[in-house]
């Protein structure tokens, strides 16, 4: 669905909201999960994101893509939740892997995404290697991990990431380059052992 008409909308109908949720629901959910490591919070915050998008559509000016706008709302909403006392106390000392068996059975599309028609390169990398690479990415410091996720998974351009994170484009490029180098180095070290 083409969402350009939303740049001038004051309200949206349920049909359009439903399509937005179908088109971007997994992206929003995965991004919340990446930030919180909690399936319950990913469900809760994802719903809140679409409620905020529905009630705040008049603030969408079309200066960025709808996806970028929704991911910005996702990030801000998630950080609001992360600041809450309940969230901090519920995650005290908790560590989770990227994907547990329980999450596997929920039907949610998680990192890494599987493709219906994998490329030759994707066929060469086994699922185990892909999971290992994402394990490396998820273990990076937040400033590298978030930029790699936004760039590689959500395919946002550096200027979109810069605007979303409120940092310069140069900083995005630098962190992206350094993050990729860190992943490459750790992958090579794992492969050698």
CATH number of the domain to which 16 belongs: 1.10.1740.10
- What phi and psi values does residue 126 have, to the nearest 5 degrees? -75, 165
Range of weakest confidence among 116-120, 127-131, 143-147, 167-171: 116-120
Is 98 contained in some domain?
A: no
Tokens encoding 26: 């997994």
Query: Which residues constitute the domain of residue 146?
Result: 117-193
Q: Band the pLDDT of 7: cuts 50, 70, 90.
A: confident
Domain count, the chain: 2
User: In this structure, what DSSP letter does residue 149 have?
Assistant: I
Residues 2 and 87 in one domain: yes
Which has more confidence, 140 or 133?
140
The pLDDT value recorded for residue 174 is 95
The pLDDT value recorded for residue 84 is 62
Number of alpha helices (DSSP H) and beta strands (DSSP E) in the chain: 10, 0
Do the Cβ atoms of 67 and 24 come closer than 8 Å?
Answer: yes
- Domain boundary, last residue among 91, 106, 138: 91
Which has more confidence, 103 or 54?
54
Which has more confidence, 87 or 143?
143
- What phi and psi values does residue 57 have, to the nearest 5 degrees? -60, -25
pLDDT digits (tens, 9 = 90+) for 56-76: 998 898 889 999 999 999 999
> Structure pTM?
0.62
Range of weakest confidence among 27-31, 133-137, 147-151: 133-137
The pLDDT value recorded for residue 190 is 80
Q: Please give the Cα distance from 76 to 87 (Å, whole number).
A: 15
Residues 72 and 38 in one domain: yes
Please give the radius of gyration of the chain, using alpha carbons only, rounded to the nearest integer: 18
Return the SS3 of 105: coil
Is 43 contained in some domain?
A: yes
Q: Please give the Cα distance from 115 to 117 (Å, whole number).
A: 5
């Amino acid at each position: 669905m083409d969402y350009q008409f939303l740049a001038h909308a004051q309200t949206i109908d349920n049909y359009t909201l439903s399509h937005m949720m179908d088109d971007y629901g997994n992206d929003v959910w995965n991004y919340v999960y990446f930030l919180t490591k909690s399936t319950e919070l990913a469900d809760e915050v994802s719903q809140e994101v679409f409620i905020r998008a529905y009630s705040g559509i008049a603030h969408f000016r079309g200066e960025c893509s709808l996806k970028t706008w929704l991911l910005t709302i996702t990030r801000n909403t998630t950080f609001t939740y992360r600041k809450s006392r309940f969230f901090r106390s519920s995650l005290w000392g908790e560590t989770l892997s990227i994907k547990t068996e329980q999450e596997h059975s929920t039907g949610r599309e998680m990192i890494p995404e599987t493709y219906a028609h994998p490329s030759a390169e994707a066929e060469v990398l086994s699922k185990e290697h892909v999971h290992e690479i994402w394990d490396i990415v998820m273990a990076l410091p937040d400033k590298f991990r978030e930029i790699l996720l936004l760039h590689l998974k959500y395919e946002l351009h550096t200027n979109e990431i810069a605007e979303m994170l409120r940092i310069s484009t140069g900083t995005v490029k630098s962190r992206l380059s350094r993050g990729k180098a860190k992943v490459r180095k750790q992958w090579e070290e794992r492969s050698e052992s």
